[in-house]
Amino acid sequence: MIELFPRPRIVIETLGPDEADALADIHADAFARSWSAEEFEALASDARVLTLGLRRHSVIWPPRLIGFILIRVAAGEAEVLSIAIRGANRGRGHGRRLMDEALRHLYRERVETCFLEVAHDNRAALSLYESLGFKTVGERKGYYHRNDGPAGAALVMRLKLR
Ligand SMILES: CC(C)(COP(=O)(O)OP(=O)(O)OC[C@H]1O[C@@H](n2cnc3c(N)ncnc32)[C@H](O)[C@@H]1OP(=O)(O)O)[C@@H](O)C(=O)NCCC(=O)NCCS
């Protein structure tokens, strides 16, 4: 059967500072405390920060950035600074694809350990990280700003890559 509208193609690519507005837009949709386009411009210009984006290409709409991950790498250690998928696109495997690609990159770069922080009640993110082998190694109380209540605790998680 001929497909009238072929499935959108999803491409993971390295992003530069020219994508700062789109990165800030996705971040603002995902987090209570948003980061400005200027902050993203600085991060995406930093050679120590791996900035990967996930872009959807369809035959109908112009290509659209629907997610990103930013990871800072220094002295054999990496820290996930942020990861987000646009709301309507969550739960379709995109977050896992971004994490897989980023971890492959870190492994190739001979990074030994990857850290991240996650709100203790962020079930989707926790489940993703645990399934990739991240273990909780610490907790920071009152760390996560919320619009609707007191700041929540963050878990510090670690993955040993080598
Ligand atoms: C966390 C986030 C990046 C995950 O991306 P996603 O594309 O929605 O996740 P995926 O569809 O790739 O799912 C990956 C895993 O996450 C978990 N997961 C995803 N959605 C979930 C949900 N609603 N409830 C519980 N677990 C969930 C599952 O373990 C899933 O694995 P599985 O599909 O093999 O069961 C995304 O939900 C998001 O952008 N959230 C808002 C921003 C955020 O919280 N970022 C993380 C900050 S630390």
From first to last of the 162 residues of the chain, give the pLDDT tens digit.
Answer: 666 778 899 999 999 999 999 999 999 999 988 999 999 999 999 999 999 999 999 988 999 999 999 999 999 999 999 999 999 999 999 999 999 999 999 999 999 999 999 999 999 999 999 999 999 999 999 887 777 777 789 999 999 999
Domain ranges, ordered by start, for the chain: 9-160
Q: Is 91 in the pocket of ligand 1 (CB under 6 A)?
A: yes
Any atom of ligand 1 within 6 Å of the Cβ of 131? yes
- Rounded distance between C-alpha atoms, residue 110 and residue 15, angstroms: 21
Query: Which one of 2.30.30.110, 3.90.226.10, 3.40.120.10, 3.40.630.30 gives the CATH number of domain 9-160?
Result: 3.40.630.30
Instruction: Give the three-state DSSP class for 132.
Output: coil
pTM: 0.95
Pocket of ligand 1 contains residue 141 by CB under 6 Å = no
Q: Which residues contact 27 (CB under 8 A, 6 or more apart)?
A: 34, 35, 40, 82, 84
Characterize the bridge pairing of strands 9-14 and 113-119. Answer: unpaired
Q: Whose CA is nearest to atom 26 of ligand 1?
A: 124
